[in-house]
Amino acid sequence: MGDVASGGKVLTREEAPFDPDALRDRYRAERDKRIRADGNEQYLQIAGRFADFGDDPYIEAPIQRAPLTDEVEVAVIGGGFGGLLAGARLREAGVKSLRMIEAAGDFGGTWYWNRYPGAACDIESLVYLPLLEETGFIPAMRYTKAPEIFEHSRRIARHFNLYEDACFQTSVKDLSWDEAAQRWIITTNQGDAMRARFVVMSNGPLNKPKLPGIPGIETFKGHAFHTSRWDYEYTGGSVLGGLDRIGDKRIGIIGTGATAVQCVPHLAEGAGQLYVFQRTPSAVNVRNDQPIDADWVRSLPPGWQNHRMDNFNLLLSGGYAEEDLVNDGWTEAFRELVFIARKEGAAGLSPEKLAELMELADFATMERIRARAEAVVNDPATAEALKPWYRQFCKRPCFHDEYLQAFNRPTVKLVDTQGKGVERITENAVVVDGVAYEIDCLIFSTGFEVGTSFSRRYGYDIHGRGGQPLSQAWANGVRSLHGLMVRGFPNLFFLGSTQGGFTANYPHNLREQAAHATYVIDQVKARQGRAAEPSEAAEADWVATIIEKARNNQAYLEACTPGYYNNEGKPYLANAQNTNYGGGPIEYFRILADWRASGDLPGLEVS
Ligand code: NDP
């Protein structure tokens, strides 16, 4: 029998203070309660009558500039961390003719948009914020708040001279390959028709807010907005809190994901009355934020950030390392079991044994999280409703020291929908189980589109060789080499997780891919190539690998409560090839590194 670690001590399986079979049954029952036939179709698009939910509330004035029809060597679409990392690496590689194109009013990507009160990153700042050594920046706290992240994005842009020639408030409307000129033509909402030899796209995975398709949503007459477009005019305060205009308001918030966990404490503090409408509770572990000792960071040897990122990634992938450098809630499950077990001599575990140990560690962690809800929340029924019944990585794990506590305020009510979701919205209320909760303002903390088509999420299609639209090339599933390059779409790079790597520390994958794209661009230039794209065979091989590896995660995701991690409870049924590389990020990064090390661009046709 396996061992279970608890509080850093390795226990025998029999001593485990829970019944794994009973927990597995409970998880399955909770999942079954939530499965809906309409799956991902339950959500509404921010378009048509809901279009203004997507407006940018942060720009001071619309830009005025003449349309651009010039040519650059590389255009980067997206000014978040992916675009910034690509821009940085390209500058380092000597690319002078570079244009950053961004729909928002500045760099920052998700951190430009998400300025809701309490917004912060729950991955340790020293591994999350890219290019710390290069820019010389040392974050103040272990878990950096949104304004610091936004400012760091701007710092990277300044450091690598990316503001020069940048186009903000510029949404791409079409990207077409001009065969005769061997250039991309980028058409935008500003009337541009720019040309570029290479294009790097980093459009972001969670860029388009979505709304719940709750009956009556269109009839609501009160104030309403999505968390990624926070209306401080209405609430007062700022991203740091202090919402001082809602003391006489009844606020409703739908959703209890990672965003809600961060903003609910501030709403609770400011609102006259707050209703939190819950379908599935988040797992909310201890945050325990701490200041960072800048002298200690300065004393670390060069290369410390890559080393720390790799160590974090290794432990999160179930690997073994001598030390756990980050040592927080993310590495906890692994640290307490796999890490300790292996360190204590259980190296060479079979995959089955490892999976069993991981599940036990997961149960132990979730038991502690459930116990925490009970210990913190005074009302027993509310505490019970806040307990999550699923495996730790079925949903984004959350860490907060004020979320559960907020439910102890007399002005805050958790309205638990028993996994069914909100029943109806009327012109002045949210209805659950026949009870109408009257509100003045409704906040949608309902997340972002995942799994919808590229053109729906980003508002444009890409036309490759012969004018073929990407939507057509991918009609039966994504096709690529390494998730990065697509046959028929030369000199174009897609940064992201689809057929690429996935790690909870999202910028880590972007770092690897940005370096890879820069390498390919450099090589194509060095070979005086005009167009580079994957061969048919290389692309087919990669697609086959993705499908094969997707099976690794199938059982785990299938047993999970529905959410965007598992295509709302239907993992991969839509298309196994539209997933990320199932062998894990370490393997994926190694594949890219080996490919570069081979030096001869295997599987790439350079004409
Ligand atoms: P999520 O998609 O995680 O959450 C959406 C919420 O809306 C869920 O609680 C969902 O319930 C609920 N919901 C949807 N439809 C209904 C309905 N009809 N009735 C009631 N509730 C409904 O979005 P978030 O914005 O919270 O988070 C998105 C992602 O952003 C995270 O997963 C994370 O990757 C990232 N993030 C990261 C942070 C960080 O610290 N780095 C902080 C915040 C966000 P259900 O769960 O039942 O579907």
pLDDT tens by residue, 283-339: 999 999 999 999 999 999 999 999 999 999 998 887 778 889 999 988 876 666 666
Q: How many angstroms separate the CA atoms of 283 and 265, rounded? A: 16
Mind giving me the DSSP string for 143-154? S-BHHHHHHHHH
CATH classification number, 71-208+450-536+580-606, choose in 3.50.50.60, 3.40.50.620, 3.20.20.10, 3.40.50.300: 3.50.50.60
Q: How far is the CA of 127 from the centre of ligand 1 (A)?
A: 23
Q: How many angstroms separate the CA atoms of 399 and 401, rounded? A: 7
Q: Is the CB of 157 under 6 A from ligand 1?
A: no
Q: Is the CB of 258 under 6 A from ligand 1?
A: yes
Q: What is 39-52+209-282+396-444's CATH superfamily?
A: FAD/NAD(P)-binding domain (3.50.50.60)
User: Where do the structural domains in the chain lie, given as residue ranges?
Assistant: 39-52+209-282+396-444, 71-208+450-536+580-606, 304-379
Q: Is the CB of 121 under 6 A from ligand 1?
A: yes
Instruction: Point out the ligand 1 atom lying closest to the alpha carbon of residue 565.
Output: 32
Q: Is the CB of 122 under 6 A from ligand 1?
A: yes
Yes or no: say if 198 and 73 are a contact pair by the CB < 8 Å rule: yes
Q: Which residues of the chain have pLDDT under 70?
A: 1-13, 333-349, 572-574
Q: How far is the CA of 117 from the centre of ligand 1 (A)?
A: 16
pLDDT at 438: 98
pLDDT at 161: 98
Q: How far is the CA of 395 from the centre of ligand 1 (A)?
A: 9
Q: Which residue has the tokens 């890559």?
A: 306
Residue nearest to atom 34 of ligand 1 (CA): 396
* Shared fold status for 39-52+209-282+396-444 and 71-208+450-536+580-606: yes
Q: Is the CB of 128 under 6 A from ligand 1?
A: no
Alpha helices, DSSP H, located in 224-347: 232-235, 258-270, 294-298, 304-316, 329-334, 340-341
pLDDT at 574: 60
Convert the pLDDT of each residue in 479-500 to its tens digit.
999 999 999 999 999 999 999 9
pLDDT at 388: 98
Instruction: Point out the ligand 1 atom lying closest to the alpha carbon of residue 395.
Output: 32
pLDDT at 345: 56
Q: Is the CB of 396 under 6 A from ligand 1?
A: yes
Residue nearest to atom 2 of ligand 1 (CA): 447
Instruction: Point out the ligand 1 atom lying closest to the alpha carbon of residue 564.
Output: 2
Residue nearest to atom 39 of ligand 1 (CA): 121
What pTM did the predictor assign? 0.96
